[in-house]
Amino acid sequence: MPDELAIHARGVTRVYKAKPDPVTALGGVDLDVEPGEYFGLLGPNGAGKTTLIKILTTLLLPTSGTAKVAGFDVVHETAKIRRVINMVAGGEQSGYGLLTVREQLWMFSQFYGLPTREGWRRVDELIEITGLTEQRQQKVRTLSTGQRQKLNFARGLLNDPWVLFLDEPTLGLDVAAARDLREHTLSWKAAAPGRTLLLTTHYMVEAEQLCDRIAIVDRGKILALGTPEELRRRVQAESIFRLELDRLPQNGGIAGIAALPGVVSAVRADEEMADGAASDRVALKVALADDSALTSVVTAVAERGSHLVGLAKSEPSLEDVFVELVGRGFGDEDGDQEPAA
Amino acid sequence: MSGYHGAPATNASEAADWSTGRVIQTNLRAVLGRAYPRVIGLTREPSWLFFEIFLPFLAVSAFVFVYRALEAPEEFIGFVVLGGAMTSFWLNVVWMMAAQFYWEKDQGNLELYFTAPMHLMSVLAGMAIGGLVMTSSRALAVIGIGSVLYGVTYDIQQPFLLAGVFLLTMIPLYGMGMLFASLFLLWGREAFHLAQLLQEPIYFLGGVNFPLRAIGPIAGVVMATLPLGVGLDAMRQLAFAGSGVEGVLPVGPEILILIAMGVVFLVSARLALGYLEFLARREGRLTLRWQ
């Protein structure tokens, strides 16, 4: 089944028993992830991202609906799923502190049935790739948070998984360590076709930088799904450009520019001047139906005696998309949907 | 960044198609993998020499001096030394087997064990074998030091049978630990208290410091429930054969009881583990750190 979807979910719900009322962590999720995709679940804490990962990694049963990983059902074919997946979570403290980095990885390699020699070879390979060579004989309990997470990532690759689940993998890491880890995930994916990653994160930049497609999740539902570009388009149909000119265009001025084919609107936006200094400069905010209309705008500006000093494309962020969809920002969530009891 | 290699299988379905042999091999390797931290721990934590040998030895010594003061038969000194050594296994079962899944959950290991392609019984078997190796060294140290220091004279006429009874005792004892590992997780939010609850009664019910016959009819209950008590009673009969020591039952029936207990505890552990996994997946608790 080479064309089997890496992840397939239809109407997946998960309700937790809780007092006084049951808590719905997932409210009917439909999701298809192609093999070879880097897919992101983006949402605030309590959105249901981790619950979905727990279901897909066979740790939880869905209350209703069906879900398959690599074509295998998460309820009835757990053994087969477990042979082709692995999982790395942020802040993970797994393993045993008295073991060295090398020993810890070897121990986990045995849980995936790697033959002894192959296990050690794989362990040494991953230690080198993840940059833990200097720490290879160091006890796990002495590792820094960043080193620890590199170790967790290496553990997640021991069995060469076909689907790798990353649950907030950069949580608590400093900028450099998080960047290293992100690069590792991209390198690993690029090294062989068909490798699939499902990332949960509440870092917009991370999702945007890494993922081929993103699902924005909130309160157990997928609100929007698409490439980062497609998602941004949902809140902004036109391309918005900000032009800084040395003087106001003559011969029809701004109205002439607004009348050009492909230009939706053109307005002065002096209050948004980047440096706020040059008093004789003017700024225009030009909305285009398509990026290709930009050439005619720049030409028209020159023909009207102005010189282009600065040009920037104004992009909506994924946070803008989230706010547009949900009506609130990431920091305004109402707390965790997963019960603590 | 480079160095990541391609996966050997051509697709996920092929990668998930394991032969029976590979499944068995993986589970055997999982046993080895889980036993490793326990065995290697012997060389990593020298403090165990104090906590696991010296302190238990003090408890043994106290009973030795009580028996000496009461002018009890000399074989009682041997009973206490042997009982002290066997107590190490009970403590290992209670703290390092029964409570272990609870600790593993806290660390996040349990999630990873559940998602790995092995049976959880392999993890428990690894814990048991690792614990057995680790504790055997401690038990041997207690026996060696105690025997030399207090001049214990053994009369072992059937050494292989004695070794066999010891191993037969370990199977239901660690099987009980495997069963408790699941039950602790199901019942308890605080494994520490449950472990304490199980630790103390063994000094009385297990007859670790006195011949089990001395507790009269209660010995019957022990014979039906506690592998340590049964095994210890049989081992004392075999280790001090010439002294005319009498057990609660002869060695033969006690061996049969140990075999039956081994089957019951291992099967029960397997069933409890299956139920635990089902409940964990259905209820969304037990295995997950945030629960």
Question: Contact A95/B280, CB-based, under 8 Å?
Answer: no
* Contact criterion met (CB below 8 Å) for A251 and A305: yes
Alpha carbon of A102: minimum distance to chain B alpha carbons (Å): 12
Quote the mean pLDDT of chain B.
87
Considering A329-333, B9-13, B169-173, B279-283, the range whose residues carry the highest mean pLDDT is B169-173
Q: Is the pLDDT of residue A333 over 70?
A: no
Among A15, A37, A59, A200, most B C-beta atoms within 10 A, so best to mutate, is A59
Cβ(B92)–Cβ(B131) below 8 Å:
yes
What local confidence, expressed as pLDDT, does residue A72 receive?
96
Please, are residues B222 and B205 in contact by the beta-carbon 8 Å criterion?
A: yes
Range scoring the smallest mean pLDDT among A135-139, A219-223, A241-245, A287-291: A287-291
Instruction: Name chain A contacts of B1, Cβ cutoff 8 Å.
Output: 129, 183-184, 186-187
- Contact A311/B at CB under 8 A: no
Task: With a cut of 70, say whether residue B57 has pLDDT above it.
Answer: yes
Give the residue, A121 or B202, on which the prediction is more confident: A121
Coil, helix or strand at residue B232: helix
Q: Which residue is listed with tokens 């929007």?
A: A224
Output the pLDDT for position A334: 44
Residue A215, pLDDT > 60, answer: yes
CB contacts under 8 A, A 70-99 vs B, are 70-72, 79-87, 89, 92-96, 98-99
Task: Give how far Cα B232 sits from Cα of B79, B238, B246, Å.
Answer: 9, 10, 12
Alpha helices in chain B (DSSP H): 12-16, 20-44, 48, 55-69, 75-92, 100-107, 109-115, 120-150, 159-187, 191-199, 202-205, 218-225, 227-239, 251-283
pLDDT of A140: 95
- Chain B residue with CA closest to A165: the answer is B115
Instruction: State how far the Cα of A159 lies from the Cα of A166, in Å rounded to an integer.
Output: 15
A322 pLDDT exceeds 90?
Answer: no
Q: For the residues B194-203, what does the mean pLDDT come to?
A: 78
Dist CA B47 CA B25 (whole Å):
35
A114 touches chain B (CB under 8 A): yes
Q: Look at A98 and B29 and tell me if their CB atoms are within 8 Å.
A: no
Asked whether the predicted pLDDT for residue B131 surpasses 60, the reply is yes
Cis amide bond preceding B253, omega within 30? no
State residue A85's pLDDT score: 97
Q: How many CA atoms lie within 13 A of A80 on its CB side?
A: 18
List B residues 4-43 in contact with A (Cβ-Cβ < 8 A): 4-13, 15-18, 22, 25-27, 29-30, 32-34, 36-37, 40-41
Interchain contact, B10 vs A2, CB within 8 Å = yes
Confidence of residue A336 (pLDDT cuts 50, 70, 90): very low
More confident residue, A307 or B193: A307
What pLDDT score does A332 carry?
55
Q: What is the pLDDT of residue B58?
A: 86
One-letter amino acid of B193 = H
Contact B2 A187 (CB under 8 A): yes
Please list the residues that pair with A213 across neighbouring strands.
A39
Q: Are A53 and A167 in contact (CB under 8 A)?
A: yes
Residue B126's contacts (CB-CB under 8 Å, 6 or more residues apart) are B30, B31, B32, B33, B34, B35, B36
Distances (CA, A) of A299 to A193, B170, B273, B274: 45, 88, 74, 73
**Structure tokens belonging to residue A315:** 């992009």
What integer pLDDT is reported at residue B20 of this predicted model? 95
Beta-carbon separation of B118 and A93 below 8 A: no
What six digits make up the tokens of B233? 């009673």
